Structure 1
Amino acid sequence: MKIIEVPPGWPLDESTARAVQDELRARVVLDEPGPPPGTGRVTGVDVAYDDERGLVAAAAVVLDAQTLTVIEEATAVGRVAFPYVPGLLAFREVPAVLGALASLTEAPGLIVCDGYGRAHPRRFGLASHLGVLTDLPTMGVAKNPFVFSHADPDPDRGASVPLRAPDGEEVGRALRTQDQVKPVYVSVGHRISLDHACAHTLHLASRYRLPETTRRADRLCRDALADLTR
């Protein structure tokens, strides 16, 4: 498998990356509802790291949004493009994720990231970053909250509570996808509403806590990383 090198001109230090975040954040579209849940295609993206060799494997899995059957899968392996800095993880992952998306022959439709969009200290997590660069509707579904506290949702599937920034802005929701199970953390990335993002998450998580997009992409990127050592 060809290794994707760090793109020329890619930010390599924290101050440059923050400046790029500021520039790209201004291009996020927040006034579109996005595709209706259960329609078209939905693509899960995720990454896995090989820290010893400085590599990151990205996976993109395209599903039929109604039936959740897999239409296409693609992977890419790249050099880790940025040091580990909380709040700037997208700069480590985006080149490999773009490589996986570029390998698809089918249109990805809505992209679901294992991470954050607006629910980010600078309001610009991976889902927003990827959405702006691709101009596709994107959303984030994270396993754990980043820096925002929240009340406990009711125990039933579909219950949610806001994730609020210190200024009171609702930047996402803690959403219960299964009865009596820990919530996931949903936020807007680009060109989708928070209501629709939560509805998509519930549709995609019909059997398990995590969306089917995330479950399949997680397994695929880990398999791609394992293939490098065989």
Structure 2
Amino acid sequence: MQDELRARVVLDERGPEPGAGHVTGVDVAYDDERDVVAAAAVVLEAATLRVVAEATAVGRISFPYVPGLLAFREIPTVLAALDALDRPPGVVVCDGYGLAHPRRFGLASHLGVVTGLPTIGVAKNPFTFAYDDPGTPRGSASPLLAGSDEVGRALRTRDGVKPVFVSVGHRVTLDNACAHTLALTPAYRLPETTRRADALCRRALREATQHV
């Protein structure tokens, strides 16, 4: 299915400008013992990073944890959270990968193709890809490589702090994805979208499982 859907990924659109409109973070938390998954979608005003909408969804885990197939485990509940928002999400930032994936079709690409939304993957780790350490200053970047192909970038969002790993999901260029990521990291290593969505989905999971 990933090989089939990959053909639908749009790579020749620049995407919305950083700092304009809305940008939305999505994230997922699991309680494997209770078979419960909670997803959150948090919409920020891109210019101010102020939260303007948020939604959660809770469901049953429908797919096992398999590296490289994370989208099948996460997307059903993420889609439910996005559907519950009261406004368009704009650019969606995923805590995961887009093209930086063994089949070039990670969570961000999968979500983008399914929804038609512009999507970006910003991951904490480089998965299986090679990269040179970027320069020390914030904004420094180096290619994330699969052989000789650039599938993403290691991007320094804080001076001297471990980089994040940015890849195109759908309908955004890599340059623009990196610009969005820097606009979303004024104070911390991870984008505000990810930080807010992570906190919200964890809270939703606690509330959903406290009586189970």
TM-score class, shorter-chain normalisation, is: over 0.9
Matches within 5 A, 1:103-114: 103-114=84-95
Matches within 5 A, 1:206-217: 206-217=186-197
1:72-94 CA-partner distances (Å, limit 9, x unpaired): 01000111121111100100000
Aligned to 1:228: 208
1:217 CA drift (Å): 0.2
What are the ranges of 5 or more consecutive residues in structure 1 without an aligned counterpart? 1-19
Root mean square deviation, CA, Å: 0.6
Q: Which amino acid aligns with 1:216?
A: R
- Of 71, 87, 93, 2:52 maps to 71
Q: Which amino acid aligns with 1:95?
A: P
1:127-149 CA-partner distances (Å, limit 9, x unpaired): 00000000000000001111101
Aligned to 1:115: 96
Give TM-score scaled by structure 1 length.
0.90
1:229 CA drift (Å): 2.8
1:44 aligns with 2:25: yes
Q: Which amino acid aligns with 1:203?
A: A
Matches within 5 A, 1:1-230: 20-166=1-147, 168-230=148-210
Sequence identity (%) = 72
2:133, 2:142 within 8 Å by CA — same for their partners in 1?
yes
1:114-169 CA-partner distances (Å, limit 9, x unpaired): 00000001100000000000000000000111110111111100000000102x11
What are the ranges of 5 or more consecutive residues in structure 2 without an aligned counterpart? none
In 2, the alpha carbon distance for the partners of 1:206 and 1:192 equals 21
In 2, the alpha carbon distance for the partners of 1:91 and 1:156 equals 36
Q: Write out the 4+ residue segments of structure 1 that deviate beyond 6 Å after TM superposition.
A: none
Give TM-score scaled by structure 2 length.
0.98
In 2, the alpha carbon distance for the partners of 1:84 and 1:150 equals 26
